[in-house]
Chains A and B, each alone.
Chain A
C-alpha cells in the first residue's frame, strides 16, 4: 500500500511541477516577441512617450522574473490582472463564462461517455460483424469532419429546417436548468458527435487487445459463460485502458469546445479566448490558456492516478 501512496504522491508532485512549467511557458511565450508587448500592441505609429507610458502601466520596466512572480502570486490569489482591451478585471470577465463552458463540456461528456463506451465494447465483442464494419466506417467518417461542418449540418437540419432548437445558444445565468439544457443542446450534440467517434474507436481497440489475452482463452476453456467472461475477466482489466480513453477524450472536449462556442455564439471561455486572440489582448489570452491548460493537466493526472489504482499488480505488490 505504501508503494501506491508513493506512486500517487509522485504523480501529484509531477502534476504540480507540470502546472508550474506550463505557467512559465504561458508567461514566457510573450518574450518571443521582437521588441516588447507595448510596441507590438501600439504599433509603429505610436510615439516614444505613449509607448513608455504603456510600458509603465504593464510594468514592463520590471525584470521578467519579478513580473512572472507577481503574475503567479496574483493568480494564486485569484487576481488574473486586467484586460488590455477594456481595462476590466479578467477574473470578472472569465467567471461566468468558465461556468458556461464547464456546463457545456459536462453535458457533452454526460451524453458521449456512456454512449461511446457501450458502442465501443459492442463493436469489440462483435468484431468483424456487419455492425462492427458499419460502425468503423461511420466513425472513420465522423473523425474526418471538421467540428464546424458537423455544427452547421446540425444547424441546417435541426434549427433551420425543422426549427426544433435555436441556432444561437445565448445562455445566461437567469435561465433555469432545463432551459439551459435546451439552449445548449445543439453545441453539446456537436461536441458529442465529434468526440464519440474517437472515444469509441479507442475503447474498441482497448477491448480487442484485451480479449486476445491468454487468460480470456483460458476462461472460455474453463467453460465460463460469455457474459461472465466479459464482466468478470475482461472488464476488471479493461478499467484502466477505458479510463484512459475517457480522460483523453475529455481533454479533447475542452479543445473542441472553443470552435463549437464560436459557431453557436455560446458565451463561454473559448469564445472569449478567440476574441482576445484577434484583439491581441494578451493578458486575457494568457489567463484563458492557463485555465484550459490546467484543466488538461488535471485530467491527465486523474487518468494516471486512476490507472494506478485500477492495476492489480500495483495494488497488490509482491
Chain B
C-alpha cells in the first residue's frame, strides 16, 4: 500500500449495468454507469429513491444484494476486476481494503457480540493485526472519533450504546484495517440533525486523517457538499451530471441538479399574528404519556389561529407526535384541556361528536399505510363525504372529481387502488381525504419526511395553495427546519416533552434564540461546502 500515492486511480466502473428481480422478471436498475475514483478522493453519489445509488455503491465492493445481479460492464478495484472475480478474491478485499458503513448501525451490528469484538473481527480474520493490537487500535480510533469513554465503550453490546455513538462505532469498524476505500451508505439519514453533525464531523475527520478514498451515498445534497471532492448526480440508474463539488454547487449544468439545489429555498412570508379570540384551537397545560410512568408531554400550551400554520418542531423523543395524538383524542391527557373555538373537546375521540371529529382532520407521515390498499381512491375520498356530509352517490361522484382537481390529479384516478400510485400521489389522496371532511384544522404529522425532496416540496406548495383557497389552519409537526421555514406562521420548539420556545416565525428565527433553538437551527446542513468546517470552528471557539 505504501507504493501507491494519492491521485492514483483506485476504482473504475465502466458501463456498469445491474439488474434486479421483481415479479419473476429482471429489470435494469443501474443503466450504464462510468465512475472513476482516485486514492484519497471522496466521491458523493446523490439521487432520489430509485436512483440506484446504493446499488452502485456496494457494486464497488463487487457485491450485489440478493435478487440483483451484474448484467454487463466492469468494476475494477486497484487493477482487480470484481464482477467476474471468484468469491475468495472478493472476500479478501472486503473489510481489509474496501469497507462498508451501513445506514442503520442498530441493525448492522450483531446483537450477540461486543463492539470491540466486532471491530477486531475483520483485521484478525484478514491477518492484518492480532487481537491485542486490534483492541489497542480500536481504542485509538474510538478516541479519534471523539466517542465518549473510548477505553471502555468497546466492551459494551450494541444495544447498550446510543444511535449516534453506534453509527460512529461502525465508522470505526470500517477503519479497522485502514482500508483504501470506504463505502458510506446514507450513514446519517436515520439520525437527528444535532446527532448528524457529530457523525458527519467524525467521518470527515477520519477520512482525512487516514487519507482514505470514500464513496458517500446520500439523498441530501447539503450533506454530501460538506464531504465530497466530487459529486455524481444520479436518477433512475443513470448519471445526470458529474463535477467537482464547488463548481457544481455554483453552476449546475442540468436542470435536475438545479432543482435539487433549490429544494430548500421555498419560503413564504409570515402572516401577521391573528388576534382571534377565542383562537381556533387552544391546548392548555397538557401533560400526557403512555401508562402512569412514561410521561411524554409536560405542561404544553399551544394556540392555533384561524387560517394559520403553526409548526411544532423537535427531534425524536421531543413529544411532538404525542401532542398530535392528544389533540385528535387518541391519547387522553393526564391533565390540561383542549379548546376548539373556546369549547372544551372531550379528551377521548370516542366521546366527541361527529361534527367535532369532522373539524379536525389528520394527514400522516407514511402515505403507504395511511391508505387502505384494498380501497379505490373513489371510496377512500368518498367515505367522509357520505359519513359526515350525507352526500348521495351522484353528489359524491361530483365532489370526488372536484377534490381530485384541487389536489392536481386527473379524474381517472378515482378508479385506482393505492398500489397503482406513487408516494407523492398517495399523499395527495390523503390530503383530499382530509379536505373531503371540510375541516377547519388539519394536523400534518411529518407529511413530507417519507417523500423524496422534490416531491415533498410540491406537497408543501399544494398545502399552501389549499390554505390560501380554503382558509384552513394547519398544525405542522416536523423535525425538518427547512419545512418549518417554508410554511409556518408560528413556531413551537419542543425538547423532551416541553416547549422551549414559541412565537411568530420571524421572531423565533432571528437571534437571539433560545439555546436549544440555536443548536437546532445551526445543525441544519447548508449547501455551502464550508458550512461544516465553519460551524465546527465556531462551536469550538
- The reply to whether A and B meet directly (CB within 8 Å) is yes
Asked if residues B95 and A222 are in contact (CB atoms below 8 Å), the reply is: yes
Task: Report chain B residues within 8 Å CB of A228.
Answer: 125
Report if B325 contacts A (CB, 8 A): no
Report if B159 contacts A (CB, 8 A): yes
Asked if residues A236 and B96 are in contact (CB atoms below 8 Å), the reply is: no
Task: Report chain A residues within 8 Å CB of B91.
Answer: 220, 223-225
Asked if residues B122 and A223 are in contact (CB atoms below 8 Å), the reply is: yes
Asked if residues A223 and B111 are in contact (CB atoms below 8 Å), the reply is: no
Interface size band for A: 20 to 34
Asked if residues B112 and A223 are in contact (CB atoms below 8 Å), the reply is: no
Distance to closest chain B CB from A217 (angstroms): 8
Distance to closest chain A CB from B440 (angstroms): 45
Report if A6 contacts B (CB, 8 A): no
Distance to closest chain B CB from A309 (angstroms): 13
Distance to closest chain A CB from B58 (angstroms): 7
Distance to closest chain B CB from A61 (angstroms): 50
Asked if residues A223 and B96 are in contact (CB atoms below 8 Å), the reply is: yes
0/1 per residue, B99-140, Cβ < 8 Å to A?
110101001111111000000011001100000000000000
Which of A214, A217, A223, A312 is B93 in contact with, Cβ under 8 Å?
Answer: A223
Which of A214, A219, A222 is B104 in contact with, Cβ under 8 Å?
Answer: A214
Report if A218 contacts B (CB, 8 A): yes
Asked if residues B112 and A222 are in contact (CB atoms below 8 Å), the reply is: no
Asked if residues B99 and A222 are in contact (CB atoms below 8 Å), the reply is: yes
Chain B stretch 67-115: residues in CB contact (< 8 A) with chain A:
90-96, 99-100, 102, 104, 107-113
Most buried by A among B61, B63, B92, B113: B113
Complex CA–CA separation, A225 to B94 (angstroms): 11
Task: Report chain B residues within 8 Å CB of A222.
Answer: 94-95, 99-100, 121-122, 125, 173
Most buried by A among B58, B109, B126, B157: B157
Asked if residues A214 and B121 are in contact (CB atoms below 8 Å), the reply is: no
Task: Report chain B residues within 8 Å CB of A312.
Answer: 111-112, 157, 159
Most buried by A among B91, B112, B159: B112
Report if B21 contacts A (CB, 8 A): no
Asked if residues B125 and A223 are in contact (CB atoms below 8 Å), the reply is: yes
Complex CA–CA separation, A280 to B63 (angstroms): 67
Asked if residues A214 and B111 are in contact (CB atoms below 8 Å), the reply is: no
Residue in A closest to B103 when the chains form the complex, CB atoms: A214
Task: Report chain A residues within 8 Å CB of B121.
Answer: 219, 222, 224, 232
Query: How many A-B contacts at CB < 8 Å in the complex?
Result: 79
Complex CA–CA separation, A218 to B65 (angstroms): 11
Q: Known contacts A214-B107, A237-B111: does B102 contact A224 (CB below 8 Å)?
A: no
Residue in A closest to B159 when the chains form the complex, CB atoms: A313
Chain B stretch 266-319: residues in CB contact (< 8 A) with chain A:
none
0/1 per residue, A71-87, Cβ < 8 Å to B?
00000000000000000
Chain A stretch 282-318: residues in CB contact (< 8 A) with chain B:
312-313, 316-318
Asked if residues B61 and A221 are in contact (CB atoms below 8 Å), the reply is: yes
0/1 per residue, A189-219, Cβ < 8 Å to B?
0000000000000000000000001110111
Distance to closest chain B CB from A224 (angstroms): 6
Asked if residues B58 and A221 are in contact (CB atoms below 8 Å), the reply is: yes
Residue in B closest to A311 when the chains form the complex, CB atoms: B111
Report if A233 contacts B (CB, 8 A): yes
Residue in B closest to A218 when the chains form the complex, CB atoms: B108
Report if B160 contacts A (CB, 8 A): yes
Complex CA–CA separation, A316 to B115 (angstroms): 13
Distance to closest chain A CB from B414 (angstroms): 38
Task: Report chain B residues within 8 Å CB of A317.
Answer: 160
Complex CA–CA separation, A224 to B125 (angstroms): 7
Asked if residues A220 and B110 are in contact (CB atoms below 8 Å), the reply is: no
Asked if residues A223 and B107 are in contact (CB atoms below 8 Å), the reply is: no
Complex CA–CA separation, A222 to B101 (angstroms): 10
Asked if residues A224 and B160 are in contact (CB atoms below 8 Å), the reply is: no
Asked if residues B95 and A221 are in contact (CB atoms below 8 Å), the reply is: yes
Asked if residues B113 and A236 are in contact (CB atoms below 8 Å), the reply is: yes
Complex CA–CA separation, A312 to B157 (angstroms): 8
Most buried by B among A215, A219, A224, A316: A215
Complex CA–CA separation, A214 to B108 (angstroms): 5
Complex CA–CA separation, A217 to B100 (angstroms): 10
Distance to closest chain A CB from B55 (angstroms): 13
Distance to closest chain A CB from B1 (angstroms): 16
Asked if residues A237 and B99 are in contact (CB atoms below 8 Å), the reply is: no
Complex CA–CA separation, A215 to B173 (angstroms): 13
Complex CA–CA separation, A283 to B146 (angstroms): 72
Most buried by A among B109, B111, B160: B111
7 nearest A-B residue pairs (beta carbon): A223-B95, A223-B94, A222-B95, A236-B112, A214-B107, A221-B100, A218-B108
Given contacts A217-B65, A220-B94, 4 further A-B contacts (CB under 8 A): A215-B108, A222-B121, A223-B96, A318-B160
Query: Can you name 14 A-B pairs with beta carbons within 8 Å?
Result: A214-B107, A215-B110, A217-B65, A217-B102, A220-B63, A220-B91, A220-B94, A222-B94, A222-B125, A223-B126, A225-B91, A236-B113, A312-B159, A313-B157
A positions within 8 Å CB-CB of B: 213-215, 217-225, 228, 232-233, 236-237, 312-313, 316-318
